[in-house]
Amino acid sequence: MSRLIIVSNRVAPISEGGPAAGGLAVGVYDALKETGGMWFGWSGEVLSSTPPHIDVVERGPVTFATIGLVRRDYDQYYRGFSNATLWPAFHYRADLIQYDRHDFEGYCRVNAWLAQQLVPLLREDDVIWVHDYHLIPFAQALRAAGVKNRLGFFLHIPFPAPQVLLSVPPHRALVEALCSFDLLGFQTVPDLRAFCEYVVHEAGGQVEAGADKAPTLVHAFGRTLRAQAYPIGVYPDEIAQLAKAGTRGKPARTMKATLHERKLIMSVDRLDYSKGLVERFRAFERLLDQVPAYRNHVSFVQIAPPTRADMHAYQDIRLRLESESGRINGRFAELDWTPIRYIHRQYERQVLAALFRQSHVGYVTPLRDGMNLVAKEYVSAQDPDDPGVLVLSRFAGAAQELTGALIVNPIDIDGMADALAQGLAMPLAERRARYRDMIAQLRENNVSVWRDNFLRDLKDGEGTAKRRAPR
Ligand code: ADQ
Residues 178 and 267 in one domain: no
Domain C-terminal end among 230, 262, 281 = 230
Among the ranges given (40-54, 59-73, 179-193), the one the predictor scored with the smallest mean pLDDT = 40-54
Domain C-terminal end among 230, 247, 282 = 230
Question: What is the model's pLDDT at position 86?
Answer: 98
Burial 122-147 (b: 16+ CB within 10 A, else e): beeebbbbbbbbbbbbbbbbbbeeeb
Q: Is residue 290 part of a domain?
A: yes
Q: Which of 377, 282, 347, 360 is CA-nearest to residue 321?
A: 282
Q: Is residue 214 part of a domain?
A: yes
Residues 376, 444: Cα–Cα separation, whole Å: 13
Summarised one tens digit per residue, pLDDT across range 144-159 is 999 999 999 999 999 9
List, in order, residues 6 or more apart from 348 with CB less than 8 Å away: none
Residues 39 and 103 in one domain: yes
Summarised one tens digit per residue, pLDDT across range 271-329 is 999 999 999 999 999 999 999 999 999 999 999 999 999 999 999 999 999 999 999 99
Question: What is the model's pLDDT at position 470?
Answer: 32
Residues 399, 188: Cα–Cα separation, whole Å: 10
Summarised one tens digit per residue, pLDDT across range 315-364 is 999 999 999 999 999 999 999 999 999 999 999 999 999 999 999 999 99
Question: What is the model's pLDDT at position 24?
Answer: 66
Q: Is residue 465 part of a domain?
A: no
Cβ contact 321:277 at 8 Å: yes
- On the question of pLDDT at 22 being above 80, the answer is no
DSSP type of residue 306: B
- On the question of pLDDT at 464 being above 90, the answer is no
Residue 156 known to be catalytic: yes
* Average pLDDT, integer, range 37-46: 93
Cβ contact 143:168 at 8 Å: no
Question: What is the model's pLDDT at position 462?
Answer: 57
Tell me, in angstroms, the distance from the centre of ligand 1 to residue 372's CA: 6
Greater pLDDT, 161 or 307: 161
Residues 34 and 119 in one domain: yes
Q: Is residue 466 part of a domain?
A: no
Q: What CATH number should be reported for the domain holding residue 391? A: 3.40.50.2000
Tell me the best of 132, 187, 268 to mutate to test the pocket of ligand 1, counting ligand atoms within 8 Å of each CB and taking the most: 268
From 134, 156, 171, 219, active-site residue: 156
Q: Is 347 in the pocket of ligand 1 (CB under 6 A)?
A: yes
Residues 160 and 247 in one domain: no
Q: Is residue 457 part of a domain?
A: no
Residues 73 and 182 in one domain: yes
Residues 129 and 24 in one domain: yes
Q: Is 156 in the pocket of ligand 1 (CB under 6 A)?
A: yes
Tell me, in angstroms, the distance from the centre of ligand 1 to residue 23's CA: 8
* Average pLDDT, integer, range 219-239: 96
What is the percent of the chain with per-residue pLDDT over 70, rounded to a whole number? 95
Q: Is residue 149 part of a domain?
A: yes
Residues 13 and 72 in one domain: yes
Summarised one tens digit per residue, pLDDT across range 396-424 is 999 999 999 999 999 999 999 999 999 99
Question: What is the model's pLDDT at position 48?
Answer: 86
pLDDT interval class at 16 (50, 70, 90): low
Residues 269 and 369 in one domain: yes
Q: Is residue 462 part of a domain?
A: no
Q: Is residue 461 part of a domain?
A: no
- On the question of pLDDT at 17 being above 70, the answer is no
pLDDT interval class at 25 (50, 70, 90): confident
Residues 410 and 393 in one domain: yes
Tell me, in angstroms, the distance from the centre of ligand 1 to residue 209's CA: 31
* Average pLDDT, integer, range 229-255: 96
> Strand 150-154 to strand 183-186: parallel, antiparallel, or no bridges (unpaired)?
parallel
pLDDT interval class at 468 (50, 70, 90): very low
pLDDT interval class at 114 (50, 70, 90): very high
Q: Is 279 in the pocket of ligand 1 (CB under 6 A)?
A: no
Residues 286, 145: Cα–Cα separation, whole Å: 57
- On the question of pLDDT at 463 being above 50, the answer is no
* Average pLDDT, integer, range 92-119: 97
Question: What is the model's pLDDT at position 32?
Answer: 86
Residues 328, 312: Cα–Cα separation, whole Å: 24
State the residue range of the domain holding 307: 236-444
Residues 87, 208: Cα–Cα separation, whole Å: 29
Residues 381 and 263 in one domain: yes
The structure's pTM equals 0.96
Question: What is the model's pLDDT at position 176?
Answer: 98
ipTM value: 0.98
- On the question of pLDDT at 466 being above 50, the answer is no
pLDDT interval class at 23 (50, 70, 90): low
Domain C-terminal end among 215, 230, 245 = 230
Q: Is 19 in the pocket of ligand 1 (CB under 6 A)?
A: no
Report how many domains make up the chain: 2
Summary mean pLDDT of the chain: 93
Summarised one tens digit per residue, pLDDT across range 56-79 is 999 889 999 999 999 999 999 999
C-alpha distances in Å from residue 197, one per residue of 88, 194, 217: 20, 5, 13
Q: Is 286 in the pocket of ligand 1 (CB under 6 A)?
A: no
